[in-house]
Amino acid sequence: MTGFTATRRQGALVFLGLLAAVFVVGGLGAFATLPQIPGWYRALAKPPWTPPDWLFGPAWTVLYIAMAVAAFLVWRRPAQAARSRGLWLWTAQLIANALWSPLFFGAHRLGLALIDIAVLWLLIVATMVAFRPVRGLAAGLLVPYLLWVTFAAALNAAIWQLNG
């Protein structure tokens, strides 16, 4: 019984660590983003299909939770090369995700942000491909994230074009 409790405790700690990781990235993004919205971002020319500012926070919250759950589902599988590869790719995409807001909002480097989001998109696809044989549900949980990043990349490109 003690081993079972220790395993559950370890699982809970890993899940909380994954949640913390995604929300640290989200917090860093918010730190770079929020001060720029009333001035710089509002002054940019944007396409008519730009969503309202209030939508981004709730959307990212749901996506970050799904990302943490996906990684946790893969982590819970027996150790194997595919699991390790998937978790490394998940970490790489999280790093690329963390870079986007400082590039776009913080540094106002729309072109570099577009390159970053293209790399992020590729890393999400690679993560999904790596997760699928380990735990299909984990790959499926990343589909909304991929769709949102696809939309965000199109928005980034349009804003860059309109303001370049």
Q: Is residue 105 exposed (0-12), middle (13-18) or buried (19+ Cβ within 10 Å)?
A: buried
What is the per-residue pLDDT for 164? 82
Helix/strand/coil for 103: helix
Is-contact 49 95, C-beta < 8 A? no
Residue type, 49: W
pLDDT values of the chain reduced to their tens digit, one per residue, 164 residues = 455 576 888 999 999 999 999 999 999 999 999 999 999 999 999 999 999 999 999 999 999 999 999 999 999 998 899 999 999 999 999 999 999 999 999 999 999 999 999 999 999 999 999 999 999 999 999 999 999 999 999 999 999 999 98
Query: What is the rounded distance in angstroms from the CA atom of residue 90 to the CA atom of residue 104?
Result: 22
Tokens 């909380």 locate to 16
Query: What CATH architecture applies to the domain 2-45+53-163?
Result: Up-down Bundle (1.20)
**17 CB neighbour count, 10 Å cutoff:** 13
**68 CB neighbour count, 10 Å cutoff:** 23
What is the per-residue pLDDT for 1? 47
Q: Give the helix ranges, DSSP H, for the chain.
A: 2-33, 42-43, 56-75, 81-101, 110-131, 136-141, 143-163
What is the per-residue pLDDT for 8? 87
Is-contact 128 139, C-beta < 8 A? yes
Domain ranges of the chain: 2-45+53-163
Residues near 62 by beta carbon (within 8 Å), at least 6 away in sequence: 144
